[in-house]
């Protein structure tokens, strides 16, 4: 059975696993005690123990406005490297894409997003990290099964599948 996994990496990493019908198989927030790097290692290991070969995985992309960027980047890259090492492919969805997929707007606030998630899918959870992981898992389902019900969801999926080319920094090298 194919599972659809959403991962929202942070010091409280949200993980949500759905079946093909969108039923929640598991929804959890992974944390760890202690000092880094042990704490980071424990989070990465615990998260990746929930992901199996054959799962369709979507991870939230890096948020560049984060105040704790190095720590979150370490956790995010650690998860990605673990999946890579185990030949588990994943897609990334930008934080704004996650919000747009659930609400139609890429700048929805967390409390408004919780309402949109409940209205659209009937899912609720006390952790915004788990709610984000749920939406990422729904994106994973849509990537594989085209479960979109709105044009803005199609737009998000197309942006993930066919990302716009990155623009150069405009620097010209002179001799």
Q: What residue segments make up the domains of the chain, in order of their start?
A: 4-161
> Please, what is the average pLDDT of the chain?
92
Give the span between the Cα atoms of 50 and 39, in whole angstroms.
17
For 4-161, which CATH superfamily applies?
A: Ribonuclease H-like superfamily/Ribonuclease H (3.30.420.10)
Give the span between the Cα atoms of 82 and 48, in whole angstroms.
7
In this prediction, residue 166 carries a pLDDT of 77
Which residues are CB-contacts of 59 (< 8 A; sequence separation ≥ 6)? 6, 7, 8, 9, 76, 79, 80, 90, 91, 92, 93, 136
In this prediction, residue 105 carries a pLDDT of 97
pLDDT tens by residue, 95-146: 999 999 999 999 999 999 999 999 999 999 999 999 999 999 999 999 999 9
pLDDT tens by residue, 28-58: 999 999 999 999 999 999 999 999 999 999 9
More confident residue, 109 or 74: 109
């Amino acid at each position: 059975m194919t599972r659809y996994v959403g991962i929202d990496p942070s010091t409280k990493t949200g993980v949500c696993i759905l079946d093909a019908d969108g039923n929640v198989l598991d929804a959890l927030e992974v944390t760890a005690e202690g000092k880094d790097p042990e704490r980071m290692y424990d989070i990465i290991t615990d998260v990746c123990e929930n992901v199996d070969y054959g799962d369709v995985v979507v991870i939230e992309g890096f948020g560049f406005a984060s105040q704790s960027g190095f720590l979150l980047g370490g956790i995010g890259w650690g998860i990605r490297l673990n999946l890579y090492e185990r030949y588990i492919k994943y897609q990334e969805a930008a934080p704004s894409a996650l919000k747009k997929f659930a609400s139609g707007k890429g700048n929805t606030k967390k409390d408004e997003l919780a309402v949109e998630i409940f209205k659209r899918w009937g899912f609720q959870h006390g952790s915004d990290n788990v709610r984000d992981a749920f939406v990422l898992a729904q994106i994973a389902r849509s990537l594989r099964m085209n479960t979109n019900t709105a044009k803005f969801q199609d737009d998000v999926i197309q942006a993930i599948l066919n990302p716009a080319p990155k623009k150069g920094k405009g620097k010209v090298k002179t001799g």
